[in-house]
Amino acid sequence: MITYLDELKALLREGGVPAEQVEATVSDLAAYVAETGADPEEEFGPVGDFAGQLLTARAPEADPADATEWRWTADIFADRQTLARFGDQGWEIDRIDHLGRFVSHRDPERPQRWEYRRELVPPGGGRALAARLAPEGWEPCGTWMYYRYFKRPRAASVGPAAQLDSPPAAPRSSVFFSRRFYLLMAVALLALVAPGLVLAPSDGDGAGFFAGMAVGACVAIAALASMWFWMARRRP
């Protein structure tokens, strides 16, 4: 892994990528490889070809509307719908970075539609799942907690219709959170604060408030954990 990433770093620097961007990109890739246990060359291909892809995807002076590389995020309630929407606009997911953002690019010359799927994967089960889906053309493109994302060209299911003649401009927003996500955060915040307000004594002693906050924190964590397990039991 060290040899592959060191060589990639050198190739990116030779290609004119600023040092800060090189470090950020290689750090993201190192975190991804460490998390998935994948072999870098098997995951990304020969280092020279992969470096060429990254250099081609760069658009350092381009207007955001014309960008070919884009990082964005969505919550667990909206990720599949958002992936479907942007995959239909030609955005291919390369990986998920250490901040949980989808790192994507679009071929500026021959854009094509992509489709995605999300699978719930137990620890150590990623390789077996990837092998099972590979005959259908699916390949891994990112991991977040126990979810693994897969991609394949839309041409695998619709043929030449997957080609895009005039794709829309890159979205200017990069955050796509659903109403359910904001509702869940509001409920968690209420569960955290309300017990402190209820248990706070009238004489203004702060001990009761902080004790209530501790109770609220437990309630909030329990609520979030329950939501997580409920989501995990649903079909991914």
Tens-digit pLDDT profile for residues 180-232: 888 877 877 777 666 555 555 555 555 554 555 455 555 555 555 555 554 44
Q: Domain boundary at 135, 153, 177, which?
A: 177
Q: Which two tokens stand for residue 22?
A: 């090189």
Domain identity same for 74 and 143: yes
CA-CA distances (angstroms) from residue 120 to 29, 61, 76, 125, 158? 22, 39, 12, 10, 26
Report the domain count for the chain: 3
Is the pLDDT assigned to residue 138 strictly greater than 60? yes
Select from 30, 58, 86 the last residue of a domain: 58
Judge if 166 and 193 occupy the same domain: no
Same domain for 69 and 144: yes
Looking at 33, 58, 83, which one is the last position of a domain?
Answer: 58
Q: Are 43 and 140 in contact (CB under 8 A)?
A: yes
SS3 103: strand
- Percent of the chain at pLDDT > 90 equals 27
Average pLDDT over residues 126-141: 91
> What is residue 55's predicted lDDT score, i.e. its pLDDT?
77
Same domain, 43 and 117: no
More confident of the two residues 36 and 196 = 36
Same domain for 54 and 112, yes or no, is no
Task: Note whether 178 and 78 are within 8 A (CB).
Answer: yes
pTM over 0.75? The answer is: no
**Element (DSSP H or E) covering residue 140:** strand 139-144
3-class DSSP state for residue 122?
A: coil
User: Within the chain, what is the greatest distance between any pair of CA atoms?
Assistant: 74
* Domain, as residue range, for 4: 1-58
User: Residue 176: beta bridge partners?
Assistant: 74
- Whether 80 and 170 map to the same domain: the answer is yes
Same domain flag for 69 and 132: yes
139 and 171 part of one domain: yes
Whether residue 69 is found in the same domain as residue 145:
yes
Percent of the chain with pLDDT over 70: 74
- In this structure, the strands spanning 114-120 and 92-96 are unpaired
Same domain, 41 and 90: no
Residues 73 and 161 in one domain: yes
Instruction: Kindly state whether residues 210 and 146 are assigned to the same domain.
Output: no
**Higher-confidence residue: 74 or 66?**
74
Beta bridge partners of 170: none
**Is the pLDDT assigned to residue 44 strictly greater than 60?**
yes
Which residues, 6+ apart, have CB-to-CB distance to 196 below 8 Å? 208, 209, 210, 211, 212, 213, 215, 216
